[in-house]
Amino acid sequence: MTLHTLRELLERAESGGYAVGAFNVSSLDQAIAVLDAAEAERSPVIVQSIAGMSAYDDEARWWARLRRLIDDYPTVPVALHLDHGRSYDDCARAIEAGFSSVMIDASRDPATDEPSTFEANVALTSRVVALAHPRGVSVEGELGTIGGAEAGVSGTTEEIVFADPDQAEQFVAATGVDALAVAVGTSHGSVKFTDAEGGQRLRIPLIAQIKERLPQTFLVLHGSSSVPSEAVATINAHGGRVRPSYGISPEQKGDAISTGIRKINQGTDSHLAWTAALRELLSTRPDLVEPGEQLGVALIAFRDMVARRMREFGSAGAA
């Protein structure tokens, strides 16, 4: 059986000194692309879905099929993870669907879209841990506020509220989470930083301070896509309007891994690669109506970007 908990995958990453990529998917085709990349690279992988963000009307059926798909890859160590669960119910539904890991993002109040109090974050996160751990499911929490806007999470640009090492230690002690997403200078979305220095803004010393306080907790980097300029340029050359910006450089992510980051979320980069390939194809082949040809080009670009990130994170060959 290829399904593993998040804790199992990240324990191996801790021993090996690498990070496991967590790739957002919104269709079975994208999930196949991620798993194909992991199989080819001999890499562990985290396949993750956001509640309410898929190509399908019936989320229960989508999640059930996603769970079954993983069994088709017996050589790939996989965690199936709920990304940015916004409520206890989101997490409960994912656990019922067979997810091996859930993230409860209680760092913001969904009713007001304002940062939650520390006490409210602890209370909701603890409730999810109490549900998940007896069922053998790992839990990721979040402390601080990642910048930008995550699909399905926030429609407005958020200000970054950096994680505090003292609070991080208190949070883990109070909740018992397996992994902790820390706000250390990243930003969600396809438009991150508008100046070239943006990709160098990770607070590496802050990561080191938190890791020193929490040696047994796995640290997670959200909002860390690199926003490849070639993909943005291709999209815009073929009718798109993506604002050019700077993401987190691969070198900075390498420094973060060396300092203790063990899970890196990536969504934007593979989405940009997919869109660039599809826009270029449709622009140069205006007569094309065959869905298979369109989908095939997009999936190759998606898969290749995922494989590239696996090599950069050091997980390639670690399966």
Residues classed as catalytic: 83
Distance, in Å, from the CA atom of 81 to the CA atom of 55, rounded to the nearest integer, reads 18
Distance CA 93, CA 63 (A): 10
Torsion angle of alpha carbons 18, 24, 28, 31, nearest 10°? -10
Distance of CA 297 to the CA centre of its chain: 23
Tokens read off for 234: 């291709």
Per-residue buried b or exposed e for 41-61, using 16+ beta carbons within 10 Å of the residue's own CB:
bebbbbbbbbbebbeeeebee
